[in-house]
Amino acid sequence: MRVHQLERPLVRSLVQAVSRGTAELDDDAVARIFATATWSVLVEPGDGVAGLLLESIGADRALSMLIEGRPPGDWLAASVDAGSPVELGLADVAAACERWRPRLSSRLVVAALRAAVQCRAGFVTPGDAAWPDALEVLGAHAPIGLWVRGSVGALDHPGGAIAIVGSRDATNYGEHVAMDLASGLSDRGFAVVSGAAYGIDGMAHRACLASRGTTVAFLAGGVDRLYPAAHHDLLLRAAVSGAVVSELPCGSSPTKWRFLQRNRLIAAASHATVVVEAGQRSGSLNTAGHAAALGRPLGAVPGPVTSVTSAGCHRLLREFDAVCVTSVADVVEMVLGSPDARPVGASTTSGAAPGATATGRAGERRSADGPDTTRVLDALSSRSPRGVADLARRTGMAPRAVAVTLGTLALDGGAYENENGWLRM
Amino acid sequence: MRVHQLERPLVRSLVQAVSRGTAELDDDAVARIFATATWSVLVEPGDGVAGLLLESIGADRALSMLIEGRPPGDWLAASVDAGSPVELGLADVAAACERWRPRLSSRLVVAALRAAVQCRAGFVTPGDAAWPDALEVLGAHAPIGLWVRGSVGALDHPGGAIAIVGSRDATNYGEHVAMDLASGLSDRGFAVVSGAAYGIDGMAHRACLASRGTTVAFLAGGVDRLYPAAHHDLLLRAAVSGAVVSELPCGSSPTKWRFLQRNRLIAAASHATVVVEAGQRSGSLNTAGHAAALGRPLGAVPGPVTSVTSAGCHRLLREFDAVCVTSVADVVEMVLGSPDARPVGASTTSGAAPGATATGRAGERRSADGPDTTRVLDALSSRSPRGVADLARRTGMAPRAVAVTLGTLALDGGAYENENGWLRM
C-alpha cells in the first residue's frame, strides 16, 4: 500500500474532516491519524499483538514496516529502539503480519474515511482529549481508535456511565424494569450505555432519551450502518445528545465475533454493568463476563424463576457473584459503594477469556469452538462460495489460519468446498 | 418446689411415658428427665445462662440448687467441682435465678407432662440417641429438651434436612415454587423442615407430605396446641411420618419472642435454609439471619422486583450473600457443594444477635427495642390488667427486670398501669 501523490490532498481533507478539530492539522498529525485509521481497517477488534506494537512503536512507523514487509525481528528491534520492548515472540509477529496484510489497501481506508465523512462520524484516537480513559483497562486489547457519530464528549460523560444490557427477547417485565432503571439513572446524571439491540438494549436507550439523558450505543459494525435497521431512528436520536460508537471503520458489517468484542467495549466504557433480563444464551452474559473480568461492578436484576428470560440473570447471581439489583438506588449504591471490594480480574481482556467463561457452558456452540472458527463461520456464506484469500480479508486472519480452520470445519461438518470455493453448511 | 412423696408414682409414670423407651427407667433417670422437663418449663427459649449451667452441673443438681435458693457463688463453685467451670459473673447467675424462680412449681411441670402424655408427645433430651446433633451448633443456646409429636427419628433424618420457609402472605408464584422445591427435595431423600405458618411454610409441609416425604414442623408454642388452627389437620398428618416439635412444654402459647427463638431451631436443625418469598418484614428473614450466623448455607429464591413479597429475598441476596436458588438442583448443589466455603459465624446464637441483624432495619419496631420489651409486650394484654409477678411468670423474666421494662414502656407509650395492673397500650 502506498498513498500516491495524487491522493494526498484527498487524504488530508478526509482526515481533517474526521478529526473534527477547527485548527488545520500539520503533516505529521495527518500521517498519524491516517495510519491509525488504516490500522482500524487492518485488524479485527481486540487484536492484542497490534495493540502492543502500536503502543510501542506508533501507528505511523508500524504501518510503514508492514507496507515494507519487514521481518519479525525488525519489529521487535524497533520496539526496543522505541524504549518499550514488547513481550512477543517472533512467531506472534509473523502470524500477525500474515493476517494484517490481506487488507492492506489504501482504497479500503479512503473508502472508510469517505463513508465516515458522509455520515459525519468523527475518528477519536488514544492521544485525543476526548479519548475515554475508562478503556485503558483493556490494555493491549483496547481499541485502536473509535468512530463516533454524535458527541465525542458523551464517551467520557462527567456523571459517569452505566451499561444496561439484556435479552433481545425481553418480556414486558424486563422492558418495564429497563425503562425504570434507564430513566432513573439518567435523572441522576449517569450516561446510559448499551448495544442498540432489540429488547432491553433498545428500551434502555429509548428511556434515557425520554428522560433527556445522555445515551451511548456501541455497535458491532460501522456507524454508517445503523443496526438493527428497526432502530435506525432511535440511533439517530441517540447521536443528537449522545453518541453512536464503533471501533470498526465505516462499511464494516457486524459479525458474531464483532458482537462479542463490542461487548468488551460496553463493559469497559461503563462504571458498572447491569443485566436486566437474559436467557441462558443471551449475548449480554458475555458483556457481564467482561465486566466481571475487568473488575467493574456487575449487577443482575432478578425475575421469576419460572421465566426463561431471567435464567441468565440468576446464573450471574449464582456463579459470577453479581449484585442483586432491584431499583435505581441499588445500582447507585453498587457504583458508589466501594467498587474496590470486588476482586479485580486480569487487567487485560483477551477475546476468548471472559467471553468463554460467561458463555462457555451456555453460549452458542460455535462460539465455544474458539475464536477462529467463529470468525471464519461469520465470513462464510451458505450461497456464495468464497476463496481462502477472500476469507482472510473478511476475517482479518492469516490465509494459512483460515485454511486450517476450514479444514477443521470440513471435518466437523460446519463448512464444505465446491469447485468455486468454500460454503457454510 | 418439691416433688411430694404422694406425687412420686405419678411423676414416674409420666416420665416413663414421655421418654418412650420400653425398658423401665431407674430412679436416677427419672430424676434427671423430670429435672430437665422442669427446666424446660422454667426458662424461655435460648437462655444461655441456663444452657451453660445445665451443661456444667447437670439439670438435676441445678434444679436442687434453685429449689434450695443457693447463692450465685455456690453455682459457680459447683461448676468448678464438676470440672467444667462456667464463664459467668455472679450477677449473671443472680439475675438468672431471679427470672427462673417465679415459675418454680411442680404443678406446672406435672401439668406439662400430663398434657404431653395426652397428645402422645415424647420428650427428648441431649443425652438421648434421638437428639439431633445438628442443634449442638447453638452451644449454650441449644434447647434444654424437645417435645416431639410423631417420629423422633425424623429429627435426625438420614438423608439430611432442608428448611423451606417464607412469607405468610405468599403469592401463587411463591407457593408454586415452594411446592416444587419441597416435593423435589423430598424425592431426593431430604426431610423438609419449616414453621407450620400459612403461605410458604404450609405449602412446604403439604408438598413434602404429598410426595410421601418426611417433614418436620417446629412450633413456637406447645405441641399440644397445633398452631395455626387452620393447619391442625396438616400438622397431625406431618406427625404421622415426620414430627411436630417444640422446645416449649405443652400448654405454652406462642409469643413473638418464641417465634423468633423457634426460628433458630429451624435454621440449626437444617443443613441449609431456603427462603422462597419474603416481604421486607417477614419472620423468615429472621430464620435466614440465624442460618447465616450459624454458617449454614442460605438460599433465597428470586422473584419479580415489582413484587413486594420477593423484596426480602432480594435483600438476602444483596446483603446476606445468600445463594440465588431457582431449582431443586440449585438447592442440592448449595448443600452438597463445599458448605465450608461459607464463612462460619459465631458458633453460638444469642437471642438478639442474628435476629436483630436480619430484622434490624426492617423488622417490626417492637423487636428492635430489645428482647425484654418484646417479651413483656407479648405477656401484656390490652384488656386484662396484669401484675409484675404474673408478668414475670409469663415472660420467664425476673420481676425486677419486668418492672424496669414496664417503666420504659410506660414512658414510650407502649404500656400503662391502672388500679388492677399493667395493660398494653
Comparing alpha-carbon positions, the chain A residue that sits nearest to B322 is A318
Is A317 in contact with B306 (Cβ distance < 8 A)? no
Which residue is it, cell 477472500? A390
Question: Which residues does chain A have within 8 Å of residue B164's beta carbon, measured at their own beta carbons?
Answer: none
Amino acid residing at B311: A
Position of cell 424463576? A305
Q: Is B416 on the interface with A (CB under 8 A)?
A: no
CA nearest to A330 within chain B:
B318
Positions of E strands within B168-263: 191-194, 215-218, 243-246
User: CB contact, 8 Å: B305 with chain A?
Assistant: yes
Which secondary-structure segment (H or E) carries B52?
helix B48-57
Per-residue buried b or exposed e for A248-276, using 16+ beta carbons within 10 Å of the residue's own CB = bbbbbebbbbbbbbbbbbbbbbbbbbbbb
Sign of torsion, CA B107 B109 B112 B116? negative
Residue ranges covered by each domain of chain A: 5-114, 133-359, 369-424
Amino acid (one-letter) located at B3: V
Q: Rounded to a whole number, what is the distance in Å from the CA of B314 to chain A's nearest CA?
A: 7
Element (DSSP H or E) covering residue A416: strand A415-418
Nearest to A323 among B303, B318, B323 (CB): B318
β-strands A191-194, A161-165 pairing: parallel
- d(Cα B126, Cα B235) in Å, to the nearest integer? 25
> Which residue in the set A303, A318, A330 is minimally distant from B304, CB to CB?
A303
Q: Does residue B297 have a cis bond before it (omega within 30 degrees)?
A: no
Residue spans of chain A under pLDDT 70: 1-6, 338-369
How near does any CA of chain A get to the CA of B265, in Å? 27
Instruction: State whether residue B423 is helix, strand or coil.
Output: strand
pLDDT at residue number A315? 95
Chain A and chain B share a number of CB contacts under 8 A equal to 58
Say whether residue B304 is in contact with chain A using an 8 A CB cutoff: yes
Residue labelled with grid coordinates 481499541: A143
Tell me if chain A has a CB within 8 Å of the CB of B176. yes
Q: What number of CA atoms fall less than 13 Å from residue B45's CA on the CB side? A: 30
Instruction: Mark residue A217 as left, alpha or beta (left: phi above 0; alpha: psi -120 to 50; beta: remaining).
Output: beta
Would you say A145 and A40 are in contact if contact means Cβ atoms under 8 Å apart?
Answer: yes
Residue A75 · residue A53 · CB < 8 Å: yes
Closest residue in chain B to residue A318, using alpha carbons only: B324
What's the complex ipTM?
0.77
User: CA quadruple B115, B118, B124, B128: dihedral positive or negative?
Assistant: positive
8 A C-beta contact, residue B294 and residue B345: yes
Cα–Cα distances in Å, from B329 out to B48, B117, B186, B324? 37, 41, 12, 12
As a whole number of angstroms, the distance between CA A291 and CA A266 comes to: 9
**Best of B326, B327, B330, B332 to disrupt the A interface by mutation (most A CBs within 10 Å)?**
B326
**pLDDT value for B247:** 98
Q: What angle do CA A294, A299, A303 make, to 5 degrees?
A: 145
Distance between B315 CA and the closest CA of chain A, angstroms: 8
Cβ distance of A177 and B305 shorter than 8 Å: yes
Partner A contacted by B72 (CB < 8 A): no
pLDDT value for B107: 92
B337 near A CB under 8 A: no
Does any CB of chain A come closer than 8 Å to the CB of residue B65? no
Chain A residue at shortest CA distance from B314: A324
Count of Cβ atoms closer than 10 Å to residue B242 Cβ:
27
Residue A63 near residue A89 (C-beta atoms within 8 A) = no
Residue of B nearest to A304 (CA): B303
Grid cell for residue B348? 453460638
The position carrying cell 445500582 is A331
Position B5 scores a pLDDT of 52
Q: How far apart are CA B139 and CA B51, in angstroms?
A: 8
**pLDDT tens sequence for chain B (425 residues):** 555 555 789 999 999 999 987 789 999 999 999 999 999 999 999 999 999 999 999 999 999 999 999 999 999 999 999 999 999 999 999 999 999 998 899 999 999 999 999 999 999 999 898 999 999 999 999 999 999 999 989 999 999 999 999 999 999 999 999 999 999 999 999 999 999 999 999 999 999 999 999 999 999 999 999 999 999 999 999 999 999 999 999 999 998 989 999 999 999 999 999 999 999 989 999 999 999 999 999 999 999 999 999 999 999 999 888 999 999 999 999 998 744 333 323 233 333 333 333 333 333 334 335 778 888 998 899 889 999 888 988 888 888 888 888 888 887 778 888 888 899 98
- Cα-Cα end-to-end distance for chain B: 35
pLDDT score of B137: 94
Quote the cell numbers at residue B371: 428482647
CA dihedral A24, A28, A34, A35 (to 10 degrees): -160
Query: Which residues in B lie closer than 8 A to residue A301 (C-beta atoms)?
Result: 305
Contact A327 B318 (CB under 8 A): no
Nearest CB among B176, B302, B304 relative to A173 is that of: B304
The rounded distance, in Å, linking the Cα atoms of A279 and A314 is: 10
pLDDT value of residue B364: 32
Chain B positions touching A323 (Cβ under 8 A) are 318
Q: How far from A298 is each of A27, A174, A293, B143, B282, CA to CA, in Å?
A: 44, 17, 10, 42, 28
- Chain A neighbors of B177, CB-CB under 8 A: 305-306
- All three cell numbers of A257, joined, read 465475533
* Chain centroid offset of residue A425 CA: 28
- Alpha carbon A131 to chain centroid, angstroms: 15
Chain B partners within 8 Å of A328 (Cβ)? none
| Chain A residues touching residue B323 (CB < 8 angstroms) | 318
Q: Which of A177, A324, A333 is most worth mutating to test chain B (most B CB atoms within 10 A of its CB)?
A: A324
How far apart are alpha carbons A176 and A198 in whole angstroms? Answer: 14
What count of other Cβ atoms lies within 10 Å of the Cβ of residue A344? 12
Answer yes or no: do B302 and A311 touch at CB < 8 A: no
B129 CB neighbour count, 10 Å cutoff? 9
Cell of B75: 453455682
Q: How far is CA A119 from CA A218, A239, B94, B244, in A?
A: 16, 11, 86, 74
Closest residue on chain B to A317 (Cα): B324
**Does domain A369-424 match CATH 2.60.40.10?**
no
Task: Let me know: does A355 contact A260? Beta carbons within 8 Å.
Answer: yes
Other beta carbons less than 10 A from residue B332's beta carbon: 18
* Per-residue pLDDT at A14: 96
Asked if the Cβ–Cβ distance from B311 to A326 is below 8 Å, we say: yes
Amino acid at A149: R
A8-19 vs A106-118: helix axis angle to the nearest 10? 40
Interface of A with B in 308-327 (CB under 8 A): 310-311, 313-314, 317-318, 323-327
Asked if domains B133-359 and B369-424 share a fold, the reply is no
State pLDDT tens for residues A285-311.
Answer: 999 999 999 999 999 999 999 999 999
A342 vs B contacts (CB less than 8 Å): none
Distance between A297 CA and the closest CA of chain B, angstroms = 13
**What is residue A368's predicted lDDT score, i.e. its pLDDT?**
35
Q: Which of A177, A305, A323 sits opposite B302 (nearest CB)?
A: A305
Q: With contacts defined as CB-CB under 8 Å, which chain B residues touch A324?
A: 302, 314, 317-318, 324
Separation in Å, CA of A299 to nearest CA in chain B: 10
Q: Copy the grid coordinates of residue B253.
A: 402459647
The nearest CA of chain B is from the CA of A87 a distance in Å of 38
User: Could you give the CA distance from residue B318 to residue A161 in angstroms, rounded to a whole number?
Assistant: 22
Nearest by CB to A324, which of B176, B314, B330?
A: B314
pLDDT of residue A418: 87
Q: Shortest Cα distance from B317 to chain A (angstroms)?
A: 6
What is the domain class of B133-359 according to CATH?
Answer: alpha beta
Q: What are phi and psi of B20, to 5 degrees?
A: 65, 0
The CA-based diameter of chain A, rounded to the nearest angstrom, is 66
The burial class, CB within 10 Å (0-12 / 13-18 / 19+), for B333 is middle
Angstrom distance (rounded) from CA B218 to CA B267 = 10
Q: Is there a contact between A302 and B318 if contact means CB atoms under 8 Å apart?
A: no
Chain B: closest CA distance from residue A350 (Å): 29
Rounded to an integer, what distance in angstroms lies between the CA atom of residue B309 and that of residue B323? 18
Cα atoms in the 13 Å half-sphere on the side-chain side of A218: 28
